[in-house]
Chains A and B, each alone.
Chain A
Amino acid sequence: MPKLTIDGIEFEAEAGSSVLQACEALGIEIPRFCYHERLSVAGNCRMCLVEMERSPKPVASCAMPVAEGMVIHTNTETVKKARNGVMEFLLINHPLDCPICDQGGECDLQDQAMAYGKDSSRYHEHKRAVKDKYMGPLVKTIMTRCIHCTRCVRFATEIAGVPELGLLGRGEGAEISTYLEKALASELSGNVIDLCPVGALTSKPYAFHARSWELGKTESIDAMDAVGAAIRIDSRGNEVMRVLPRLNDDVNEEWLSDRSRFACDGLRRQRLDKPYVRGADGKLAPASWDEALAAVTSKLGGIDGSKIAAIAGDQCDAESMFALKSLMESLGSPNLDCRQEGAVLDGSGARAGYIFNSGFAGIEDADALLIVGSNPRIEAPVVNARIRKRWLLGDFPVGVIGQQADLTYEYDYLGAGPQTLGEIASGKHPFAKVLQKAERPMIIVGMGALARTDGAAVLAAARKVAEDTGAAGRDWNGFNILHTASARVGGLDLGFVPGEGGRDVAGIMEGAEKGNIEAVYLLAADEIDMNRFGKAFVIYQGHHGDMGAHRADVILPGAAYTEKSGTWVNSEGRVQRGQRAAFPPGEAKEDWTILRALSGVMDKTLPFDTLTALREQMARAYPVFATLDDLVPAQWGAFGTADGALGEGAFAPAIANFYMTCPISRASETMAECTAVFVNGGKEATGTDG
């Protein structure tokens, strides 16, 4: 490791690192615009200049590799002057519009101008002005503010894998643009907003809505998909203004998918803010909590437990599912299910059978990958970026069975359905050799492969492949299930699946149609066919007036994921806790409290009065919930051993429209616009946007 001296401190830097990184390791702050630790080095902003002994000029520390015996100064007069000069150049063409700029208050240029800028300009000529570019419904551009750091270009090309952004022209005429000004077609496009060090790329839906310093900032966990990304919810008063990613190297690095970031305007629309009861006229009428709970009690109290069923939705917190399960148990109902899509996974087998065992970070250790019935780009864009990151390093054969989509990396398309998986499982397929040869092979099985009638056989085949190829070895477990719902792993961990002789989702619907199920409790479950509940009494507890609420006989208004402190378990099996950023609207309440109140009215009082007590009981009953944030490796055990023949049909995509997967995103105007532009074939810029 090369030894160098920085500001008089001798320091042994990591070989291959840059002077800037060495300075950072020493705690010396180096200003920068173009350098970003997750992107390639461009070295074009020149803000990170430092003085190097025996060099006639200051050097760009981001692009200068450390070397033995180097002597670096970061706080000399020369360095200060050099940076002042760079700042003066940058400000020549930068508009003085901070008061009306959305980046104001969280702008790198603003901050660094405080340190290195002058109080006046020596430049008397006209400033340049650049026409704004259309980049789609999410990214607003004010290109005159651009300082050409090319972070967005490098992000789109390297991380997102959509080389659509570029720097056109040169010198004073340089401009950032997408090719022919098309919308930036990436599920990760919102991240360029965070990367932009100035206000050139800002959030279009958030434009002119709030200033960063007037927002309450709540660190939480995303529940829009099963990645469980670390997020920061920015709210003003009781309104969620925006959602930003937080750093979590194990999960989302520092990226966030567009749905998780931009669907938050859906939290303001279509909300259930008071209880409703369907009257004798067949219409839902507002009611008080007492009336609504009494209506539920009178129905549920009069029927046998076996005729009651409960289905948990895709974004439920573990606490409310635990409360609902406890209530159903005390009512004597075994008819529970949390798998709206009907995946064959159940909580009875080994935990390793339904989680992403290697962890998302484990993707970087894998050396071969088989994707079965999943389109990670749509189902978990951040995970897909991780796969791409691994693929870019080379020597990473990827095989795909299922939908043949653009995943932003090259892959061998092996086949469309379970038959191909069967061939690999039997070792006949050439890709089986590829997996066998690999030291740490990985298999990702998506919901498209498991939510089908032959799902059990598919899971068994995938298990066989994992065991035969060493993907499920002693030191390495590359058997990975990629979920699409944030509540799913938590639900499976809680055993929110049919009990002894109980019915699953399909069974509940069939029972309801035939009259064997008389009451159904939907805990924010909206992704099932609501026309199939026959004459059953439907109780809907949730936050949006979506599919479930329309069918419901009683509506109990609950809280969205931003409005409750809850526990979510991501696809990896990582137990994480989200925090409340705002209160539920109107009379709506946090979900576990609704179930606790209902249990009291029904005289089946649940044995917890506080969230802490509930969590303690939950962790005692299901020890998985005792470890927060860290991954506990799951033991390989019995699961997916079911017999059954593999079917013929191709694996269907688990998600039809990336932008609309849940009540929140369906209520979001931003997501509706994205659907119109990206999914329904793209309308052109109208010129009135922004």
Chain B
Amino acid sequence: MSEQFEFTADNVEKANAFIARYPEGRQRSAVMPLLDLAQRQNGGWLPDGAVETIAGILGMAPIRVLEVATFYSMYKLAPVGKHRINVCTTTPCWLRGSDEVVHACKTSLGIEIGETTADGEFTLAEVECAGACVNAPVVEIGDEYYEDVDAESMTRIIEALKRGEKPDPGSQIGRQTSAPEGGPQVLTGDVTVKQTKSGKAKE
């Protein structure tokens, strides 16, 4: 049937830890972390064998595991590149120039959206809101978020990945977390808080 899949000894231990988080009789709840574990072990995607192995471990029908794996777009059921570049193109990112970011990806990788480079290093995808609109545009690569990306920084990140380096995640314009661009804009003066008798804070 489908190719065999076995968890490595390390991952068996991790899997057991995940399963142990759930009360007796509710072990099936561990299906999502186990799918993620299998996906990480298998180079970013889930073969049928992994679905069946997890179904066996959790005492579920394979179709039930497959239902979960197909429901969430983060589970991949076909081989993907080593670096998965997910560019957010939903409205806030798009307003802030995600089109140029996508264009930069296409040019420097030589692939279209949904494709994988011939060397199997990069897969490019367009995603819906990644939930980091404050620092739009946002690009997710592997487990990291790269924020405030533009065409120039995107190209730089890709080149670094190509060299095997790990570029710094987070804001690419030096923004502190999600503070306003260019540093704090309010509450910049010296602030002393005095305690009044009524207990209200008064400047």
Confirm or deny: A216 has a beta carbon within 8 angstroms of a beta carbon on chain B.
Answer: no
Is A180's CB under 8 angstroms from B61's CB? no
**Given that A179-B66, A180-B2 are known contacts, is A170 also in contact with B61, CB under 8 Å in the complex?**
no
**Given that A170-B71, A180-B48 are known contacts, is A163 also in contact with B61, CB under 8 Å in the complex?**
yes
Is A167's CB under 8 angstroms from B67's CB? yes
**Given that A180-B2, A180-B48 are known contacts, is A166 also in contact with B64, CB under 8 Å in the complex?**
yes
Is A166's CB under 8 angstroms from B67's CB? yes
For the complex formed, measure the closest distance between the CB of A479 and the CB atoms of chain B, giving whole angstroms: 35
A164 contact from B2, B48, B63, B70, Cβ within 8 A: B63
**Given that A180-B2, A180-B48 are known contacts, is A168 also in contact with B66, CB under 8 Å in the complex?**
yes
Confirm or deny: B62 has a beta carbon within 8 angstroms of a beta carbon on chain A.
Answer: yes
Bitwise, A170-200 to B at CB < 8 A (1) or not (0) is 1000000111100000000000000000000
Tell me the bound Cα distance from A596 to B161 in angstroms. 93
Is B71's CB under 8 angstroms from A169's CB? yes
Residues of A contacting B67 in the complex (Cβ-Cβ under 8 angstroms) = 166-168
Residues of A contacting B66 in the complex (Cβ-Cβ under 8 angstroms) = 166, 168, 179
For the complex formed, measure the closest distance between the CB of B56 and the CB atoms of chain A, giving whole angstroms: 13
Residues of B contacting A166 in the complex (Cβ-Cβ under 8 angstroms) = 61, 63-64, 66-67
Confirm or deny: A165 has a beta carbon within 8 angstroms of a beta carbon on chain B.
Answer: yes
Bitwise, B46-70 to A at CB < 8 A (1) or not (0) is 0010000000000001111011001
Tell me the bound Cα distance from A544 to B67 in angstroms. 47
For the complex formed, measure the closest distance between the CB of B109 and the CB atoms of chain A, giving whole angstroms: 26
For the complex formed, measure the closest distance between the CB of A572 and the CB atoms of chain B, giving whole angstroms: 33
Is A178's CB under 8 angstroms from B70's CB? no
Is B61's CB under 8 angstroms from A169's CB? no
Residues of B contacting A163 in the complex (Cβ-Cβ under 8 angstroms) = 61, 63-64
Residues of A contacting B63 in the complex (Cβ-Cβ under 8 angstroms) = 163-166, 177-179
Residues of A contacting B70 in the complex (Cβ-Cβ under 8 angstroms) = 168-170
For the complex formed, measure the closest distance between the CB of A161 and the CB atoms of chain B, giving whole angstroms: 11
Tell me the bound Cα distance from A261 to B138 in angstroms. 58
Tell me which of A165, A178, A179 has the highest count of chain B C-beta atoms within 10 A of its own C-beta.
A179
For the complex formed, measure the closest distance between the CB of A499 and the CB atoms of chain B, giving whole angstroms: 54
Within 8 A of B (CB), among A118-175: 157, 163-170
For the complex formed, measure the closest distance between the CB of B51 and the CB atoms of chain A, giving whole angstroms: 9
Tell me the bound Cα distance from A599 to B19 in angstroms. 76
Tell me the bound Cα distance from A177 to B64 in angstroms. 11
Is B61's CB under 8 angstroms from A164's CB? yes
Tell me the bound Cα distance from A249 to B61 in angstroms. 30
For the complex formed, measure the closest distance between the CB of A21 and the CB atoms of chain B, giving whole angstroms: 28
Tell me which of B1, B48, B64, B70 has the highest count of chain A C-beta atoms within 10 A of its own C-beta.
B70
Tell me the bound Cα distance from A157 to B2 in angstroms. 23
A177 — nearest CB in chain B belongs to which residue?
B63
A179 — nearest CB in chain B belongs to which residue?
B63
Tell me the bound Cα distance from A163 to B48 in angstroms. 17
A168 — nearest CB in chain B belongs to which residue?
B70
Tell me the bound Cα distance from A604 to B66 in angstroms. 70
B67 — nearest CB in chain A belongs to which residue?
A166
For the complex formed, measure the closest distance between the CB of B126 and the CB atoms of chain A, giving whole angstroms: 16
Tell me the bound Cα distance from A169 to B67 in angstroms. 7
For the complex formed, measure the closest distance between the CB of B173 and the CB atoms of chain A, giving whole angstroms: 35
B1 — nearest CB in chain A belongs to which residue?
A180
Residues of B contacting A168 in the complex (Cβ-Cβ under 8 angstroms) = 66-67, 70
Residues of B contacting A179 in the complex (Cβ-Cβ under 8 angstroms) = 61-63, 66
Tell me the bound Cα distance from A180 to B47 in angstroms. 12
For the complex formed, measure the closest distance between the CB of A186 and the CB atoms of chain B, giving whole angstroms: 13
A167 — nearest CB in chain B belongs to which residue?
B67
For the complex formed, measure the closest distance between the CB of A554 and the CB atoms of chain B, giving whole angstroms: 53
For the complex formed, measure the closest distance between the CB of A69 and the CB atoms of chain B, giving whole angstroms: 35
For the complex formed, measure the closest distance between the CB of B96 and the CB atoms of chain A, giving whole angstroms: 26
Tell me the bound Cα distance from A157 to B67 in angstroms. 14
Residues of A contacting B1 in the complex (Cβ-Cβ under 8 angstroms) = 180
For the complex formed, measure the closest distance between the CB of B64 and the CB atoms of chain A, giving whole angstroms: 7
Residues of B contacting A164 in the complex (Cβ-Cβ under 8 angstroms) = 61, 63
Tell me the bound Cα distance from A321 to B24 in angstroms. 58
For the complex formed, measure the closest distance between the CB of A43 and the CB atoms of chain B, giving whole angstroms: 17
For the complex formed, measure the closest distance between the CB of A608 and the CB atoms of chain B, giving whole angstroms: 56
Bitwise, B109-152 to A at CB < 8 A (1) or not (0) is 00000000000000000000000000000000000000000000
For the complex formed, measure the closest distance between the CB of A668 and the CB atoms of chain B, giving whole angstroms: 29
A180 — nearest CB in chain B belongs to which residue?
B48
Tell me which of B2, B62, B63, B70 has the highest count of chain A C-beta atoms within 10 A of its own C-beta.
B63
Tell me the bound Cα distance from A165 to B63 in angstroms. 7
B61 — nearest CB in chain A belongs to which residue?
A163
Within 8 A of A (CB), among B17-74: 48, 61-64, 66-67, 70-71
B72 — nearest CB in chain A belongs to which residue?
A170
Tell me the bound Cα distance from A170 to B66 in angstroms. 12
Tell me which of A165, A166, A170 has the highest count of chain B C-beta atoms within 10 A of its own C-beta.
A166
B48 — nearest CB in chain A belongs to which residue?
A180
A173 — nearest CB in chain B belongs to which residue?
B70
Residues of B contacting A167 in the complex (Cβ-Cβ under 8 angstroms) = 67
Residues of B contacting A157 in the complex (Cβ-Cβ under 8 angstroms) = 61
A171 — nearest CB in chain B belongs to which residue?
B71
Tell me the bound Cα distance from A178 to B61 in angstroms. 11
Tell me the bound Cα distance from A177 to B66 in angstroms. 10
Tell me the bound Cα distance from A634 to B47 in angstroms. 58
A156 — nearest CB in chain B belongs to which residue?
B63
For the complex formed, measure the closest distance between the CB of B99 and the CB atoms of chain A, giving whole angstroms: 23
For the complex formed, measure the closest distance between the CB of A189 and the CB atoms of chain B, giving whole angstroms: 15
Tell me the bound Cα distance from A155 to B3 in angstroms. 30
For the complex formed, measure the closest distance between the CB of B144 and the CB atoms of chain A, giving whole angstroms: 26
Residues of A contacting B62 in the complex (Cβ-Cβ under 8 angstroms) = 179
Tell me the bound Cα distance from A177 to B69 in angstroms. 14
Residues of B contacting A169 in the complex (Cβ-Cβ under 8 angstroms) = 70-71
Tell me the bound Cα distance from A483 to B136 in angstroms. 72
Bitwise, A194-213 to B at CB < 8 A (1) or not (0) is 00000000000000000000
Tell me the bound Cα distance from A243 to B102 in angstroms. 58
Residues of B contacting A165 in the complex (Cβ-Cβ under 8 angstroms) = 63
Tell me the bound Cα distance from A179 to B68 in angstroms. 13
Residues of A contacting B61 in the complex (Cβ-Cβ under 8 angstroms) = 157, 163-164, 166, 179
Tell me the bound Cα distance from A329 to B186 in angstroms. 111
Tell me the bound Cα distance from A170 to B70 in angstroms. 8
Tell me the bound Cα distance from A164 to B64 in angstroms. 8
B2 — nearest CB in chain A belongs to which residue?
A180
For the complex formed, measure the closest distance between the CB of A171 and the CB atoms of chain B, giving whole angstroms: 9
Tell me the bound Cα distance from A167 to B66 in angstroms. 9
Question: B residues engaging A (CB < 8 A)?
Answer: 1-2, 48, 61-64, 66-67, 70-71
Given contacts A163-B64, A169-B70, A180-B1, 12 further A-B contacts (CB under 8 A): A157-B61, A163-B61, A164-B61, A166-B61, A166-B64, A166-B66, A166-B67, A168-B66, A168-B67, A170-B70, A179-B66, A180-B48
Q: Which 9 A/B pairs are nearest by Cβ-Cβ distance?
A: A163-B61, A166-B63, A179-B63, A168-B70, A166-B67, A169-B70, A170-B71, A179-B62, A164-B63
Chosen A-B contacts, 25 in total, with CB atoms closer than 8 Å, are A157-B61, A163-B61, A163-B63, A163-B64, A164-B61, A164-B63, A165-B63, A166-B61, A166-B63, A166-B64, A166-B66, A166-B67, A167-B67, A168-B67, A168-B70, A169-B70, A170-B70, A177-B63, A178-B63, A179-B61, A179-B62, A179-B63, A179-B66, A180-B2, A180-B48
Question: A residues engaging B (CB < 8 A)?
Answer: 157, 163-170, 177-180
